Structure 1
Amino acid sequence: MNYESRTIAQDERPALPDYDGEGRRRKRNIVVGVVVALLVAALAWTVFGHKKPAAAPAGAAVEQVPSVSVIVPGRSTVDRTISATGTIAARVDMPVGVAGEGGMVTAVRVQPGQWVNAGQVLASVDRSVQNQTAQSLAAQISVARSDQSIAQSELDRAAQLVDRGFISKADLQRKQATLNSAAARVKVAQATLREAQARTGRLDIRAPAAGLVLARNVEPGQVVSAGSGMLFRMAKGGQMELRAQMSEQDLTTMHVGAPAVVTPVGSTQSFKGEVWQVSPVIDPQSRQGIARVALKYDTALRPGGFAQAEITSGAASVPQLPESAVQSDRKGNYVYVVGADNKVARRAVTVGQVTDQGVSVTGGLTGSERVVSSAGAFLSPGQKVKPINKAS
Structure 2
Amino acid sequence: MNRELALEGSPAYDTARQKRRRRNFLIAGLIVLAVLLGAFFAFGGSEESPATGPRAAGANGSGAPSVTVIVPGQSEIGRTITAAGTLAARRDQSVGVSGSGQVTRVLVEAGDWVRQGQLLASIERSVQSQTAQQQRAQIAAAQADADLAQGELERARALEERGFVSKADIDRKQAAYDAARARVAVAQAQLNQTRAAIGLLDIRAPTSGLILERNIEVGQVVSPGTPFAFRMARGGEMEMRAELSQEDLSSINVGMPATIIPTGTDKQFDGRVWQVSPVIDPQSRQGEVRIAIPYDPAIRPGGFAEARIGAGATTAPLLPQSAVLADATGNYVYVINDENVVERRNVTVGSVDDRGVTIANGIDGTESIVSRAGAFLTEGRKVSPVRESAR
1:339 offset after TM fit, Å? 3.5
1:248 offset after TM fit, Å? 4.2
Residue of structure 2 aligned with 1:160, choices 158, 161, 173: 158
User: Structure 1 268/378 Cα, relative in aligned 2: closer, same or farther at 3 Å?
Assistant: closer
Give 1:75's aligned residue: 74
Q: Equivalents in 2 of 1:354, 1:229: separation in Å?
A: 47
For structure 2, the residue ranges without an aligned partner over 5 or more in a row are: 1-60
SS of the residue 2:292 aligns to? strand
Kindly provide the amino acid, as one letter, of the partner of residue 188 in structure 1. Answer: V
Q: Equivalents in 2 of 1:284, 1:193: separation in Å?
A: 56
Identity between Structure 1 and Structure 2 (%): 56
Give 1:295's aligned residue: 293
Give 1:243's aligned residue: 241
SS of the residue 2:254 aligns to? coil
Q: Equivalents in 2 of 1:319, 1:177: separation in Å?
A: 95
SS of the residue 1:194 aligns to? helix
Give 2:170's aligned residue: 172
1:286 offset after TM fit, Å? 4.9
Larger radius of gyration, structure 1 or 2?
1
Q: Equivalents in 2 of 1:148, 1:353: separation in Å?
A: 85
Q: Equivalents in 2 of 1:265, 1:376: separation in Å?
A: 35
Give 1:366's aligned residue: 364
1:302 offset after TM fit, Å? 1.9
194-203 or 262-271, which deviates more: 262-271
Residue of structure 2 aligned with 1:208, choices 202, 206, 209: 206
Q: How does 1:1-392 map to 2 (within 5 A)?
A: 63-100=62-99, 102-283=100-281, 286-392=284-390
SS of the residue 2:98 aligns to? coil
1:353 offset after TM fit, Å? 0.7
Q: Equivalents in 1 of 2:202, 2:314: separation in Å?
A: 56
Q: Equivalents in 2 of 1:165, 1:229: separation in Å?
A: 68
1:84 offset after TM fit, Å? 2.2
SS of the residue 1:293 aligns to? strand
Q: Equivalents in 2 of 1:331, 1:264: separation in Å?
A: 31
Q: Equivalents in 2 of 1:319, 1:170: separation in Å?
A: 105
1:229 offset after TM fit, Å? 4.5
| CA distances 1:67-113 after superposition (whole Å, capped 9, x unpaired) | 3332222222222222222222222222223112x111111111221
| 4+ aligned runs moved over 6 Å, structure 1 | none
Between the two proteins, the alignment pairs up a number of residues equal to 330
Q: Equivalents in 1 of 2:283, 2:372: separation in Å?
A: 41
Q: Equivalents in 2 of 1:91, 1:249: separation in Å?
A: 25
Give 1:25's aligned residue: none
- Give TM-score scaled by structure 1 length: 0.77
| CA distances 1:175-228 after superposition (whole Å, capped 9, x unpaired) | 333332222222221111111110111111222221111222222222222234
1:157 offset after TM fit, Å? 2.6
For structure 1, the residue ranges without an aligned partner over 5 or more in a row are: 1-61
Q: Equivalents in 2 of 1:268, 1:327: separation in Å?
A: 29
1:124 offset after TM fit, Å? 0.8
291-300 or 370-379, which deviates more: 370-379
SS of the residue 2:161 aligns to? helix
Q: Equivalents in 2 of 1:380, 1:269: separation in Å?
A: 43
Q: Equivalents in 2 of 1:187, 1:79: separation in Å?
A: 72
Q: Equivalents in 2 of 1:208, 1:121: separation in Å?
A: 10
1:285 offset after TM fit, Å? 5.4
- Give TM-score scaled by structure 2 length: 0.77
78-87 or 112-121, which deviates more: 78-87
1:355 offset after TM fit, Å? 0.6
Q: CA RMSD in A?
A: 2.3
Q: Equivalents in 2 of 1:163, 1:210: separation in Å?
A: 66
Q: Equivalents in 2 of 1:315, 1:175: separation in Å?
A: 89
Q: Equivalents in 2 of 1:274, 1:321: separation in Å?
A: 30
Q: Equivalents in 1 of 2:242, 2:306: separation in Å?
A: 8
1:230 offset after TM fit, Å? 2.1
| CA distances 1:271-293 after superposition (whole Å, capped 9, x unpaired) | 11122223444555555443222
SS of the residue 1:144 aligns to? helix
